[in-house]
Structures are given as C-alpha cells and as structure tokens.
Amino acid sequence: MSSQKHPLTNSKECWTFVVAAAITALLYVALIITISKEVHLRGFLFLEAGTTAKIFEFYAENLRGSLFTGFLALGGFLMSAKTFIIVNMKKEVYDSAKYKQDWLDGMELNGPENYPPLFRPLRRLSNILFYTISFSFLASIAQLTIGLYESVPSVMVCSFLVILAISFLMLSLYLIKKNLATMFDYLDKSHDPVLPLGDD
C-alpha cells in the first residue's frame, strides 16, 4: 500500500462557510425589510432608529435561550456518538477483506498517485463530525457571550454560527448516509458472493 500523501479536496467544507454566510446575509436583508418603514439601500447600512432594539429584543426573548441549550445538547450528543460511529464504520466496512481488495484493485487500475488512501472516506467523516461538534459548541457559547451585546452585528454573528453548525450537521448526515450505504452493500455482498455492489 502506498504511503504517499494525497491532497484532500475540501470543496464541500469550504462551500459550507460560503452557504452559511449567504444565508446569514439573506436573513439580515429579510429582517431589515420586515422592520423598516421605508426600504432603501442606505437603510441596510444605516439602520432606522429603533431597529436595533426590535431585532435584539426578539432575539433575546425568543431565540437566545433555546439556541444555547439546543446546540449545547447537540454538541454533547455528537461528541458521545462520534467514536461509536467511526469505530463501527471502520470495523464493518474499512477493515473488511472485500473493501481492501476492491481498494487495491482500484489503486492498481488508476495508479497510487490518482487514488485516495484506504481510510480517506472515514477520515473525512471523522473530520466533518469534529467540525459539527466544534461549531455546535461555538454556536451555543456565542449565545451567552457575543449574544449579550445589544447590537445587530452580534445577533448576526450568533446567527451565522448557528447556520454554520446546521450546515455542517447536514453534511455530516449526508456522509453518514453514504458510509451506511457502503456498509450495507458490503454486508449484502458478504452474505451473497454473487451480488454486485450497488451505487446507493
């Protein structure tokens, strides 16, 4: 097996930040349009009197407490489940003789420099779960630190961290689904040697 390092393509991880920033910007625009009496371009930069108080009052009364407890619980749950998920995926899929043989066949066909390392999908899942846990805790902590400052930027920063944590959670669920599909394919194949691997 090749010990050569392969550059990891983190396009989906980078796009997660871009998507979270775009959603936060759209949320800001929607808030200003909803609250402002007259909608004009200057109103997005120079807020009308009372706008900050209305936004912060709604956030403090309806969102801050729930976001703090919700993302604290989410981070704790994922932190306890991460090791279980990774260890079981490794045992059921990546340590199986069939997976290793398929990986070796693919590496011989494509060349070691053009083929990903054996545990790359599992490493990526582990990294994404780590990012999800980290941003869940950051989103939770931000509610009772940055979120205490009565200003629109502080509310938007807290909102961005919440949206970012949710985005990474969605990516984590997608990768878990992909790994589970692979696991079930190999489990099916181990019980029926003539059954080809599926694409789902």
Q: By percentage, how much of the chain surpasses pLDDT 70? A: 79
**pLDDT above 80: residue 46:** no
Query: For 1-15, 50-64, 78-92, 180-194, which range has the lowest pLDDT when averaged over its residues?
Result: 1-15
| Residue bearing the bigger pLDDT, 180 or 114 | 180
In terms of residues, how long is the chain?
A: 200
Q: Where are the alpha helices (DSSP H) in the chain?
A: 11-35, 41-45, 51-62, 64-89, 97-110, 120-143, 152-191
Compute the Cα dihedral for 51, 56, 59, 62 and give only its sign. Answer: negative
Domains in the chain, number: 1
Measured CA to CA, the distance from residue 64 to residue 140 in angstroms comes to: 9
Residue 94 lies inside a defined structural domain of this protein: yes
**pLDDT above 50: residue 147:** yes
**pLDDT above 50: residue 200:** no
Residue 134 lies inside a defined structural domain of this protein: yes
Residue 38 lies inside a defined structural domain of this protein: no
Name the region of 111 (left: φ>0; alpha: ψ -120 to 50; beta: rest).
left
pTM (2 d.p.): 0.79
Residue 88 lies inside a defined structural domain of this protein: yes
Average pLDDT, the chain: 80
Q: Select from 105, 142, 81 the least CA-distant residue to 1.
A: 105
**pLDDT above 90: residue 134:** yes
Give the residue numbers spanning the domain of 146: 82-200
